[in-house]
Every structure is written in C-alpha cells, then in structure tokens.
C-alpha cells in the first residue's frame, strides 16, 4: 500500500507560519543561513523601471569545480537562475523559474573575481494588467567585460493561494 506524501518538506524549525523571507534564509544561492550555499549578495538598480538590474560580485573555489579549474555547469546555471530571480522582488512579484536556456560561451574560472548581472526584459500585459509571465536575462562576466555565460528565463508569478497551500506567508506589500 502506498501512502500519499503530504509532508511540507521543511524542517521542524519552520513550523508555524514562516514568511517567504524566513524560508529564503536557506536558499542555496543567496541564503545566509545555508552553510553549503553560495551566499550571493545582489545590488538591485531600479532607477530605470523599464530595465531593472541585479548585480553580484562573486568568486568560487574548488567546492564548485566541474572541469579542472572551472565552475561546474550546474552551478553556472544556478548562478544565472539566481541573478534572474533577484529581479522579481523589485518588480513586486513572487515568481518561479518556468523555463531557462543557457549559452555556455567560455569556461567560467574558479578563484577569480567575476560579475553576475540579471536584467529584466519585459512583462507582457494581459487584458490591460501586468501578466504572470516575466522575461529576464542574465550574464556571468569577466571583470574586463567578456561574457562567459548567458541565460534567458521565463518566470511565472505565483498565485498567493499556492503560497498558502505550501505553508508560506507572503511578505508584507
Ligand atoms: C508553491 C511554492 C512556493 C514557492 C515560492 C516561490 C518564491 C520565490 C522563490 C525564488 C525562486 C528562485 C528561482 C527558482 O530557482 S525556482 C525553482 C525552479 N522552478 C520550479 O521549481 C518551478 C516548477 N514549476 C512550477 O511549479 C509550475 O510550472 C509554475 C508554478 C511555475 C507554473 O505553473 P502553471 O501551471 O501556472 O503554468 P504552466 O506550467 O502551464 O506554464 C505557464 C505559462 O508558461 C508558458 N511557457 C512554458 N514554457 C515556455 C517557453 N519556453 N516559452 C514561452 N512560454 C512558455 C506556458 O505556455 C504557459 O503559458 P499560458 O499557456 O498560461 O499562456
């Protein structure tokens, strides 16, 4: 006999009604409380609402090695996904990655300061209101500006009902 898996997949310490920010504390990409995480810290620039950006300066070591001396391709994807996802909050939306594509243009080196930049592209309106699809892009750059990897992503705004079903309290507006 099989039993449905109805667990919330969260540790007991998250019992209660954690906000999305409390949950995000353990995010592999940016959560300060995740000892194995990447601890990425972004600065967002919203001065041009049509072209919001999120920028992070980072450097990784052998923990994240793929090809000798270079960052693992899955970690490159995680970096790009994280940079794109950081554009959602400044746009006042909680959203999840639905689709992303990556160009691995050059191997991405370990032990070197690199730049990760996410850029909001557009959010097509539906029936005169902002739609639930958000299109972003991201790049990993060498400090001299050479683009090492590039992504495009589709994010879908999450309905608050889904958040409540997952036991998450949305942030205050
Ligand atoms: C519940 C959990 C709560 C978590 C809170 C999150 C907070 C933030 C956390 C931070 C996270 C950081 C980031 C992370 O790492 S998030 C982690 C990785 N992502 C996920 O785990 C998401 C898993 N996916 C889902 O849960 C669902 O698919 C969601 C909820 C996203 C949408 O499911 P839903 O059933 O609602 O929609 P849909 O799947 O029918 O598709 C939606 C639309 O997209 C169109 N489409 C599809 N492909 C393409 C394409 N290639 N080009 C153009 N369009 C494309 C498609 O035709 C459709 O359009 P339309 O027919 O409606 O017009």
The closest residue, in CA terms, to atom 51 on ligand 1 is 99
Q: Is the ipTM of this complex over 0.90?
A: yes
pLDDT at residue 9, as a whole number: 46
Class of domain 42-165: alpha beta
Index of the ligand 1 atom closest to the CA of residue 24? 9
> pTM for the whole thing?
0.89
DSSP-assigned states of every residue in 117-130: EEEEEE--EETTEE
CA-wise closest residue to 86 among 163, 153, 169: 153
Q: What does each C-alpha distance from 173 to 20, 45, 76, 156 come to in angstroms?
A: 12, 19, 32, 19
Q: pLDDT band for position 160 (50/70/90)?
A: confident
Mutate to test the pocket of ligand 1, among 10, 19, 96, 102 (most ligand atoms within 8 A of CB): 96
Rounded to 5°, the CA angle 20-26-29 comes to: 100
Ligand 1 center from residue 100 Cα (angstroms): 10
Q: Is 121 exposed, middle or buried (0-12, 13-18, 19+ CB in 10 A)?
A: middle
Q: How far, in Å, is the centroid of ligand 1 from the Cα of 97? A: 5
pLDDT of residue 7: 42
Cβ(10) to ligand 1 under 6 A? no
80-95 pLDDT, tens digit each:
999 999 999 999 999 9
Give the residue extent of every domain in the chain: 42-165
């Amino acid at each position: 006999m099989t039993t449905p898996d109805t667990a919330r997949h969260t540790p007991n310490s998250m019992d209660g009604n954690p906000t999305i920010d409390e949950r995000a504390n353990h995010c592999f990409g940016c959560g300060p409380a995740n000892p194995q995480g990447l601890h990425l810290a972004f600065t967002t620039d919203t001065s041009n609402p049509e072209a919001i950006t999120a920028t992070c300066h980072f450097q990784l070591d052998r923990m994240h090695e793929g090809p000798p001396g270079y960052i693992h391709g899955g970690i490159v994807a995680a970096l790009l996904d994280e940079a794109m996802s950081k554009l959602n909050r400044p746009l006042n939306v909680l959203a999840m990655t639905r689709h992303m594509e990556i160009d691995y243009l050059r191997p991405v080196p370990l032990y070197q300061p690199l730049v990760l930049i996410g850029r909001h592209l557009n959010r097509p309106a539906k029936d005169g209101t902002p739609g639930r699809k958000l299109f972003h892009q991201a790049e990993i750059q060498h400090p001299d500006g050479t683009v090492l990897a590039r992504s495009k992503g589709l994010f879908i705004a999450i309905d608050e009902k889904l958040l409540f079903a997952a036991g998450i309290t949305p942030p205050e507006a």
